Structure 1
Amino acid sequence: MTESGDPRRALALLWGRPAPPRRGPKPRLTVERIVAAAVAVADADGLDALSMRRVGEDLGVSPMTLYTYVPGKAELLDLMWDRAWAGLVPPGAVGWRDALEHIAREHWRFYHRHPWLLAAATSRPRLGPHTLDRYEIALAAVDGLGLTDVEMDAVVALVEGFAASAARASVEARAAERRTGRTDLEWWEATAPVLAELVEPDRYPLATRVGAAAGQEHQAASDPEHAFAFGLARVLDGIAALVAARS
Structure 2
Amino acid sequence: MTAKDDVQRRALELLWKDARRPARGPQRGLTAERIVAAAIALVEADGLAALSMRRVAQELGVGPASLYTYLPGKAELEALMLDAVALDDTLPHEWPGDWRAKTEAWARSDWEGFRKRPWVLQLVATTPFPGPNTIRWLDSALRALEGTGLTEAEKMAVVESVDAYVRGQARLSLDSHEPSTAEATERDAILAGLIDFSAYPALLATLQAGVAPYAADRFEFGLQRLLDGITTLLTPHP
Q: State the TM-score bracket (shorter-chain normalisation).
A: 0.7 to 0.9
Which ranges of structure 2 fall in alignment gaps of 5 or more residues?
none
Q: Counterpart of 1:222 in 2: which secondary structure?
A: coil
Task: Give 1:37's aligned residue.
Answer: 38
Cα separation, 2, equivalents of 1:37 and 1:21: 18
Task: Give 1:239's aligned residue.
Answer: 230
Cα separation, 2, equivalents of 1:25 and 1:192: 62
Map of 1:9-28 to 2, 5 A cutoff? 9-15=10-16, 17-18=18-19, 22-24=23-25, 27-28=28-29
Task: Give 2:221's aligned residue.
Answer: 230
- Within the candidate set 198, 211, 215, 1:214 is matched to 211
Which ranges of structure 1 fall in alignment gaps of 5 or more residues?
178-182, 216-220
Verify: 1:172 aligned to 2:175, yes or no: yes
Q: What RMSD over aligned residues (CA atoms) do the two structures have, in Å? A: 2.4
Cα separation, 2, equivalents of 1:84 and 1:63: 24
Question: What is the CA distance between 1:223 and its match in structure 2?
Answer: 4.3
Report if the CA contact (8 A) 2:13-2:19 is conserved.
yes
- Within the candidate set 120, 144, 163, 2:166 is matched to 163
Number of residues paired by the alignment?
233
Paired letter, 1:246:
H
Change (3 A) 1:64 1:51: same
Verify: 1:96 aligned to 2:87, yes or no: no
Report if the CA contact (8 A) 2:26-2:69 is conserved.
no
Instruction: Please identify, of 18-27 and 96-105, the stretch whose mean Cα deviation from structure 2 is larger.
Output: 18-27
Deviations 1:189-226 (A, max 9, x none): 221111111100211122233246332xxxxx5247x1
Cα separation, 2, equivalents of 1:21 and 1:53: 18
Q: Counterpart of 1:17 in 2: which secondary structure?
A: coil
TM-score scaled to structure 2, two decimals?
0.87
Cα separation, 1, equivalents of 2:95 and 2:23: 45
Report if the CA contact (8 A) 1:43-1:113 is conserved.
no
Question: What is the CA distance between 1:233 and its match in structure 2?
Answer: 0.5
Deviations 1:128-151 (A, max 9, x none): 111011101110111232222111
Q: Counterpart of 2:19 in 1: which secondary structure?
A: coil
Question: What is the CA distance between 1:119 and its match in structure 2?
Answer: 1.1
